[in-house]
Structure 1
Amino acid sequence: MIKEFQIHKVADFGAKEFLKPDSLAIEEPLEIAVKLGSSGEKNSVSVTMRTPENDEELAVGFLFTEGIIYSKTNLKEPVSSQMEDNKITINFAPDFNPDLQKLKRNFYTTSSCGVCGKESIEAIKQVCRIPIEKLAEPVKINTIFSLPEKLRDQQKTFESTGGIHASALFDLDGNLLDLREDVGRHNALDKLIGAELLKSTESDFSLKNRIVLLSGRASFELIQKCAMAGVPIICAIGAPSSLAVETAENFGITLVGFLKNGNANIYCGADKIDFKNTSNEN
């Protein structure tokens, strides 16, 4: 979602100035609450700044990547209720009573909290239920190189604003399956994972045999979210952090950074990629 503003444009070091309309991505808070199916008790669990769209997917994805829910069977129908624009409640199934203390994030630590990488990675391992599976055959490097252009072709809000993140889901042949955008890179990924979970009919949800492409850098938190979903290959247009690489390596995830213009840095998991460039074959 975008909003139009009238701005005073200055160009050519002040030689030109004029009024023009400008499009900006909307940023508003979303309060996420959960309602226990057995008791009807309602608990507010998080407030995040997001682009107001796909709120149900965002909330469901957030709960999944935090290790609170595991499949669509944990949710009641209707999945959510949104009585106000910036508040949403996710309804749990009657027989599902998770430990909401997990949402205090005592078991997750970010790269800004001052603890060591080893502790952060071990914390994720304690709650991650989905192993990263080996692929039947490696993904061709040309397939990896094709992903950014496919993302750009579909990232309409970024084209209008230049200020929004995207997470895209591809199959191992490079076909774009889904895409979500948000002002927050972690929200874009939660929306994407939440959308896939809500479509899933499996009792144990995972994104095995899928590739995730991030429109910006790859932070520890984004690798953590993908690890929770069992994603085997993560690609990013920008750089990863050191803890992101260590996390991906520990989980057996292939992490690709600086993916643009036919170039890429493979930080770990190179065994999942076939480096033979088929376009150069005779």
Structure 2
Amino acid sequence: MGRVTARVRATRLDSSAPAPRLDRIETVAVEEPLQIRVEHGPAQARRREDVAVTMRTPGDDFDLALGHLITEGVLDDATAVAGMMHCTDVDADGSPTFNVVDVTLRAGAVLAARPRQRTEVVTSACGICGTDEIAAIAAASRYAVDQDALRVDPEVVAGLPDALRERQKGFSRTGGMHAAGIATGDGELLAVREDVGRHNAADKVIGWAAREGLLPLRGHVLVVSARASFELVQKAVMAGAPMLVAVSAPTSLAVDLAAAEGLTLVAFTRAPRCTVYTRAERLAGR
């Protein structure tokens, strides 16, 4: 598998230190491309289709590929997948990079939607670039998160980012990785995934949930170590999670989408405080 971190040479400049110039070795997050391809169609006419190329931190690539396909609406759930494997592509030195994942659909399984046609590589900071139509997400989602009866104690919600931070090993080493986690209504973190891209981290943990048969994420919370963007609200809705908890600020379109879909959006979450932007009734003391 690819590396999660790398060691690089750097120079630290600090005019207040006894040694104002210090050459040292730093640990940084690895960022490499991942190409996702899907093989589908009838047995006599199987074809392989490129879905996306995203810049990601290597690791949990199958979760990332599956989560991306689900949150983009290309697949409904994991039952359509017969198998996933790394294509043994090689770099300029002839060493395997494991930077291509082939997803094979079961016989008879079809794509729920056509992959979005892109004219550029998806960066690690990019979600559904150029898409701002809330109606499109509402039409694509299979789950009615507005009907979810989840109730969570405000203190539990406020403490979720700290619980997530405790499991961010990559961030502790590099300071350069986002994380996403899935928590129960009681605050138990079931899984955490890290990536240099916040959208990739969400796709990885949603892909894990899909493989575990947990979709839709009724009664669960998606927690992210980032701002609450439109794309992250979209991913929560597509996974059926009724609540998104973010460490940083929301965007206006994220609030609009959360309100339209009945998702509880919580941001600026730092214990003991948080700010609820939509469906605040789900935060009720016990």
Q: TM-score range by the shorter chain?
A: 0.7 to 0.9
- Secondary structure of 1:192's counterpart equals helix
The answer (yes or no) to whether the contact 2:36–2:53 under 8 Å persists in 1 is yes
| 1:82/1:199 CA distance change after superposition, 3 Å | farther
* 2:190 counterpart of 1:163: no
The answer (yes or no) to whether the contact 1:37–1:91 under 8 Å persists in 2 is no
In 2: Cα distance, 1:68 partner to 1:253 partner: 22
Match of 1:66 in 2: 72
The answer (yes or no) to whether the contact 1:135–1:272 under 8 Å persists in 2 is no
Match of 1:147 in 2: 160
- Secondary structure of 1:157's counterpart equals helix
State the 1:101 CA deviation. 2.9
Percent of residue pairs bearing the same amino acid type? 34
**Match runs of 1:164-203 below 5 Å:** 164-200=177-213
* 2:10 counterpart of 1:7: yes
Please provide the CA RMSD for this pair.
2.1
Match of 1:245 in 2: 255
Equivalent residue for 1:122, pick from 132, 135, 152? 135
In 1: Cα distance, 2:206 partner to 2:160 partner: 18
| 1:30/1:59 CA distance change after superposition, 3 Å | same
* Number of corresponding residues: 265
- Secondary structure of 2:236's counterpart equals helix
State the 1:17 CA deviation. 1.4
The answer (yes or no) to whether the contact 2:245–2:266 under 8 Å persists in 1 is yes
State the 1:37 CA deviation. 5.1
The answer (yes or no) to whether the contact 1:238–1:258 under 8 Å persists in 2 is yes
In 2: Cα distance, 1:262 partner to 1:43 partner: 47
State the 1:184 CA deviation. 0.8
In 2: Cα distance, 1:95 partner to 1:46 partner: 23
**Match runs of 1:246-265 below 5 Å:** 246-265=256-275
- Secondary structure of 1:42's counterpart equals strand
Using structure 2 for the length normalisation, give the TM-score.
0.87
Match of 1:98 in 2: 111
Using structure 1 for the length normalisation, give the TM-score.
0.88
Question: Which segments of 5 or more consecutive residues in structure 1 lack a partner in the other structure?
Answer: none
Tell me the amino acid that sits aligned with residue 9 of structure 1: R
The answer (yes or no) to whether the contact 1:214–1:235 under 8 Å persists in 2 is yes
- Secondary structure of 2:88's counterpart equals strand
Q: Map Cα deviations across residues 70-128 of structure 1 (whole Å, 9 max, x no partner).
A: 1222011x3334332111110111111226634327xxxx7963x7x5xx110111111
Match of 1:80 in 2: 85
- Secondary structure of 2:38's counterpart equals strand
